[in-house]
Amino acid sequence: MPRIMLQDPWGVSYHIDTRNSEILCAWFDEILPVVNANYGQRRVPPAVIKVHPLFSSGLNDSADWHTESLVITGAYAFASMNGKDGLAELEQLRHTLQATIDEERGKIGGT
């Protein structure tokens, strides 16, 4: 799993760097109810997530997340409330970003 930053609607950020999905799931269990709490207010947007790759021992290794400049700087809504749902939403985001990358590469390649 990659380097993750979650930001709540009030601007507070929470960070984790881990390649261990069990640790990430436990962190999501702890953090997601906090960053997605509405504190009695209406129409509070979900937290946003930014994801950056980690490399196991250097830049020559395969990254554990997308490295394309098309998607690496993006902030994406992240509404999950627990670890299991958070991991599933992160995996869905990975697939969505891959589709975006594939589409943009097709435009650049002229296909």
4-15 pLDDT, tens per residue? 999 999 999 999
Please tell me the distance from the alpha carbon of residue 105 to that of residue 111, in angstroms, as a whole number: 9
Q: Name, in order, each residue with C-beta under 8 angstroms of 55's C-beta and a sequence gap of 6 or more.
A: 61, 62, 63, 64
> pTM of the prediction?
0.85
Q: What range defines the domain where residue 55 resides?
A: 3-109
Mean of the pLDDT values across residues 72-79? 90
Check residue 110 and give its pLDDT: 54
Check residue 22 and give its pLDDT: 96
The domain total for the chain is 1
4-62 pLDDT, tens per residue? 999 999 999 999 999 899 999 999 999 999 999 988 888 899 999 999 888 776 665 67
Please tell me the distance from the alpha carbon of residue 84 to that of residue 81, in angstroms, as a whole number: 9
Please tell me the distance from the alpha carbon of residue 37 to that of residue 24, in angstroms, as a whole number: 19
